[in-house]
Amino acid sequence: MRTLVIVGSQWGDEGKGKVTDYLAQEADVVVRSQGGNNAGHTILFDGNKFALRSIPSGIFNPNIKNIMANGMVIDPKQMLEELHGLEARGIKKYQLFVSNRAHIVLPYHSALDGAYEQFKEDKKIGTTKRGIGPTYADKANRIGIRMGEFIQPELFKEQLKTVLKIKNMELQMLGLEPFDFDAIYTEYSKYAEEIKPFVCDTAELLEEEILKNSKVLFEGAQGVMLCLDHGTYPYVTSSSPTGASVPLNSGIAPRYIQDVLGICKAYTTRVGEGPFPTELDGELAHYIRERGHEYGTVTQRPRRVGYLDCVALNYARRISGINHLALMLFDVLSGLDTIKICYAYELDGKIIHTIPATTYDYSRVKPLYIEMPGWKEDITSVTSFDELPIQAQNYIRKVEELTKIKVSLFSVGPDRKQTIVLEELFK
């Protein structure tokens, strides 16, 4: 296997950063192809913890080419803060390439993100307020600014003048303060100058690497259930985190994509609003949230937690072509007497095995569960499947049976070392 897509198979925060970093030990190239700094990917090795937002998780390995591809929306100020933060912690030798076709996030995007949320009142999405939706909207509306223009002062000036006129009208219509052209231009020109050396045609570079037989990891952000097309619309993000979006968002042919590793927690979490059939509350939710430190990497919001939902996982398998599964945060489930897994939903008296298209229907489904015996043992230091308590082994086998996907690795703690590979994916 030379190309591997890493896809979040739930509602994000499944541990994509940890798995990317782990597999990046064997990779030549790591690509982020969609999303922006709404993502928060946590990585832990040698006692160091990093939370990456828009920089690919291969950045710690100086031999890896890290690509921020055309499908990303990049906040230049935040990207530089992130890079400087890494440099301050000793990550000074890295290879980074930024697509000249990626769109940039400007301050008016974040202001509009906040305003839309405010006006939606009880229908708010619970976005990260990083301007992601408004930036993708401008891209589709053809009033976005791309890296290629951004790094050329005259082109940036011309484009910003036109666009800011329109955006300021929109801001004022919503009762917000307009932005000053000179202030944005002066501040952001400095960022553009600093980012310029990284900017190139990353699609061309990527094809060259693939034709050289390099090993390429595509690091998904968000998760399939947050997909703009196939997720729980409108409670989704504004890009597609599916395997299918990878070729388009990185500029390569679909035939280069071979395998898709779905990352899933041993349970389910969701940040932000929207239906969540297996959601728990009370003591059990508290137990899982505290053991899993389920607080958002980007916004610090407590994550909503629930049982594992195999209807959602099956859906992600179908939509994204997932053919391997990484079962994460398995250690969190230790200590429970029994554990439930959702295998189907009931809607209006009928059993269904897929995700209804409307929020109206999806918020009315009742999850149907199987209940399995739990285990009391701490599993954070196991190094093989056989060392797991029999109940934990049975849990993995049941997940495979219900999702029809082989569990190729499982994880028993946040550290790089706490990763147990059952099937080599990327050697």
Q: Which stretch binds ligand IMO (CB under 6 A): 35-43, 99-107, 158-166, 349-357?
A: 35-43
The CA distance from 377 to 392, in Å, is 10
Residue 38 interacts with ligand IMO (CB under 6 A): yes or no: yes
Residue 9 interacts with ligand GDP (CB under 6 A): yes or no: no
Listed residue (26, 50, 19, 47) closest to 410, CA to CA: 19
Q: Which stretch binds ligand GDP (CB under 6 A): 33-41, 142-150, 187-195, 200-208?
A: 33-41
- Binder of ligand GDP out of 61, 297, 391, 408 (CB under 6 A): 297
- Binder of ligand GDP out of 36, 241, 243, 414 (CB under 6 A): 414
For the CB of residue 182, give the shortest distance to ligand IMO in the complex, in Å.
29
- Binder of ligand IMO out of 107, 114, 126, 356 (CB under 6 A): 126
For the CB of residue 317, give the shortest distance to ligand GDP in the complex, in Å.
17
Q: Are 45 and 239 in contact (CB under 8 A)?
A: no
Q: Which residues are catalytic?
A: 13, 41
For the CB of residue 329, give the shortest distance to ligand GDP in the complex, in Å.
4
- Binder of ligand GDP out of 40, 134, 251, 277 (CB under 6 A): 40
- Binder of ligand IMO out of 238, 268, 334, 418 (CB under 6 A): 238
Written as six digits, the tokens of 369 are 């569960």
CA 268 vs CA 182, 228, 276, 330, 378: distances in Å: 46, 20, 9, 11, 20
Contact pattern for ligand IMO over residues 286 through 315, marking x by CB under 6 A:
------------------------------
Residue 312 Cα to chain centre, angstroms: 16
β-pairing, 338-347 vs 41-45, is unpaired
Written as six digits, the tokens of 32 are 């982020």
Contact pattern for Mg ion over residues 279 through 308, marking x by CB under 5 A:
------------------x-----------
The one-letter amino acid code at 16 reads K
- Binder of ligand GDP out of 3, 9, 42, 242 (CB under 6 A): 42
- Binder of ligand IMO out of 32, 130, 230, 304 (CB under 6 A): 130
Residue 57 interacts with ligand IMO (CB under 6 A): yes or no: no
Residue 271 interacts with ligand IMO (CB under 6 A): yes or no: yes
Residue nearest ligand IMO by beta-carbon distance: 272
Q: Which are the contacts of 33, defined by CB distance < 8 A and separation ≥ 6?
A: 69, 70, 71, 72, 218, 220, 245, 246, 249, 250
| DSSP 8-state class, residue 333 | G
Written as six digits, the tokens of 357 are 């298209």
- Binder of ligand GDP out of 4, 24, 29, 41 (CB under 6 A): 41
| Alpha-carbon dihedral angle through residues 345, 261, 49, 395, given to the nearest 10 degrees | 50
- Binder of Mg ion out of 36, 40, 131, 275 (CB under 5 A): 40
For the CB of residue 133, give the shortest distance to Mg ion in the complex, in Å.
18
CA 182 vs CA 160, 186, 189, 375, 425: distances in Å: 10, 6, 10, 62, 51
Residue 71 interacts with ligand IMO (CB under 6 A): yes or no: no
Decide which of ligand GDP, Mg ion, ligand IMO, none touches 56; Cβ closer than 5 to 8 Å per partner kind.
Answer: none
Q: Are 60 and 21 in contact (CB under 8 A)?
A: yes
Strand partners, 339: 372
Residue 114 interacts with ligand IMO (CB under 6 A): yes or no: no
- Residue 38 or 403: the one with the smaller Cβ distance to Mg ion is 38
Q: What angle do CA 241, 242, 246 make, to 5 degrees?
A: 90
Q: At 398, give phi and psi (nearest 5°).
A: -65, -40
Decide which of Mg ion, ligand GDP, ligand IMO, none touches 411; Cβ closer than 5 to 8 Å per partner kind.
Answer: ligand GDP
- Name which of residues 324 to 353 contact ligand GDP (CB under 6 A): 328-332
The CA distance from 269 to 258, in Å, is 28
3-state DSSP helix/strand/coil % of the chain, to nearest 5: 40, 20, 40
Whose structure tokens read 């666009």?
A: 163
Q: By the criterion CB under 6 A, which residues form the site for ligand IMO?
A: 8, 12-13, 38-41, 125-128, 130, 132-133, 221-223, 226, 237-238, 271-272
Q: By the criterion CB under 5 A, which residues form the site for Mg ion?
A: 13, 40, 297
Q: By the criterion CB under 6 A, which residues form the site for ligand GDP?
A: 8, 12-18, 39-42, 44, 292-293, 297, 328-332, 411-414, 418
